[in-house]
Structure 1
């Protein structure tokens, strides 16, 4: 009997040694600004296990902002960041293999105080406008083009501009130092909750210029070699992002869980931030590359080499397509 047990044990061990070893899921190192809105989604993905259920493990590394994240990606220190597809197009044209997976199409707008008499951009003539970013900020360029086409004015010539970081523009707007302010969507939501109103949204301006507002500007940017090493990873990232958004769109408890990291000053601000995030959810399906090419052409015309470098047309492979 003892010999039979030993024989069975040896047979079982032999079978186990022949069984395939399941590979560990790939670890995706993402450089994200944990104080930013992207962490609302990243934290939701990790908390509900939407990364592991889709076959990968998301590891988040905190960075100070977009430039630091881009440097880390360029150096190969991380696998993924969040950036805009225009940056990806510029990098691909320079020979760097990065791929864009849509994350958000949320954009802001030019906001004015609730009691402002302004009804059009022309009404801001002689006033001071705050712009989050630089003179080649994409939303500012779109608004300038809109003002020229629709209202026949050069907004940069008829107003004075203050360019600066989003918190600076936010504070200056609420302190009454500006007649108008163009800020990132989340600061715009806070400004709306504080009583400001949108004069012209970037989405409205884009439509007037013949651009497709459904084109997502921001996305997860992944190193091409990482996607090639794990062919299903691109779709897995997209699925985890989509499932996190679906959870946030349908489950109030998911928002209450992340509310502390949103740092909303009150219920109105919390609701404005939630509504803004949900409004920015991209539609399902591949990015319309023809629409993206039209936006690139406009950005090239308005921003020049300072914005797009030597880029003349949309390179191949910028956008990840489902099933690719």
Structure 2
């Protein structure tokens, strides 16, 4: 179901962000709803980014130049007010560090946000391989953070790299889930590494096999290896996927519906808010349009996330 509105992208067999383009992808001027539709089960957005103001603004500059226009340039208090006032019941808040020494600051910030707003389920981060990574995570867990967020593209690591083992062990020992952007897309030549060289479903399977008690969630439905991740869902009870941007009909891809049908109890609704080029509820509308049934919708929209993150 390729979107005619995402002009300029390459096909799903290649990169989604065309390296020949000097401009980012186009923004959509789609209509946004004033709030969630009436009658829905509790909705948890399992993929919301929260950063200190300066970090947010640096991320937005990168996206504006190399990714897509940001429709919602909102700082943390505004992000939460926006989503919660529109009927979202809980948010899973993610941040990621990109240099040594940054993780503790982000984790402290996230813990403060979470304690000020109980509807936030905040996750920690760490830079794989940095000195004292297990201690950084232990401190974050003691502060109440609910899991860990890593990003292979930004932090430039392969999922099965040796320096990750101590991070996986810390998560497994504490019973905290790990959200790791380990899919190959959206890739960009402006990352400091090649996501297609680092990331693959095969590498993620090694992680699942070597760390059988690690609870791992891969965002974007594992983009762009949708079929491979659906097969992993069938094999491993410790794997989850989130829908973030893969179900919004923005990129020129076929809808990755098979994973929804294989293990619907392992799929989480997420948006990437506020770093979106389209309406905040676009992905929700697409998912509701699939008419998956009341039980599947209740799980996908909120219950699965609460079971995973302990909300």
Please classify the TM superposition score into its range, dividing by the shorter chain length. under 0.3
Mark the structure with the bigger radius of gyration.
1
More strand by share: 1
TM-score normalized with structure 1 length = 0.27
More helix by share: 1
